[in-house]
Every structure is written in structure tokens, then in C-alpha cells.
Amino acid sequence: QVQLVESGGGLVQAGGSLRLSCAASGRTFSNYVMGWFCQAPGKEREFVAAIRWSGSNTLYADSVKGRFTISRDYAKNTVYLQMNSLKPEETAVYYCTAARTMAIMTSVEKYDYWGQGTQVTVSS
């Protein structure tokens, strides 16, 4: 059974940085896409970034390009989201997700597994 466990959320001032981690277990992820979504109160879950577990293909939401970086560590079976220059409007619960596909997608319904989420709060 696939398990995704996020960590690294917290409170940070605007302009600050956080690194989220997602520990993945339960199977080999070589044919998976790993992603991060966020959901603010009262809003729909939104795509942030994704990466193919095998290879270097990545995709970012326009709003985070140049500030966020997604990466993975094969040895630790962990996916990271480095978030720099954070903005108050990026306050949300951030979810790690995995899709059984080699194509990077941005739709929530295309992803098969989800973590429990980690809260990120950016103060102004």
C-alpha cells in the first residue's frame, strides 16, 4: 500500500523559505509522477509542481516558477519542495501526491495517492 507522509510545514514570514518533504513507501515509484498541490481555506486544491520519479522532467504552476523547486532523492525515497520568497497568499495545506503515469499532469483527479498534508502559514 502506497504511503505518502509530508513534513516540513510551519509558520514563516513573507519572503522566507521552507522545504517540504514527502516520504514515499509501499512500492517502487520508477513509473510514477510525484507532485505537490496546495489547498487554502474555502478554495479548491491547486497544482504546485510535479516531477517524474525517473528522469528530470518537472512542471510548475506559473505562480511559483523561479521560486519553488521540486526534487527527489532516490536513496531516501523522498520528494522535496523547496519554497523560497513565500507570499502570504500561499498560506495553505500542502499535499504530496503520486500518479501511476509517466506523463506529468496538473489535474487533481489524475493523481492516485495523497498524503495527509502539511500546513504552511506565511505571515505578512
pLDDT tens for residues 7-42?
999 999 999 999 999 999 998 888 999 999 999 999
59-82, pLDDT tens digit by residue? 999 999 999 999 999 999 999 999
Tell me which amino acid residue 74 is: Y
84-123, pLDDT tens digit by residue? 999 999 999 999 999 999 899 999 999 999 999 999 999 9
Phi and psi (nearest 5°) for 84?
A: -115, 160
Element (H, E) at 16: none
4: number of Cβ within 10 Å: 20
Whether pLDDT at 56 is above 90? no
In order of 68, 73, 81, the CA distances from 1 in angstroms are 29, 20, 23
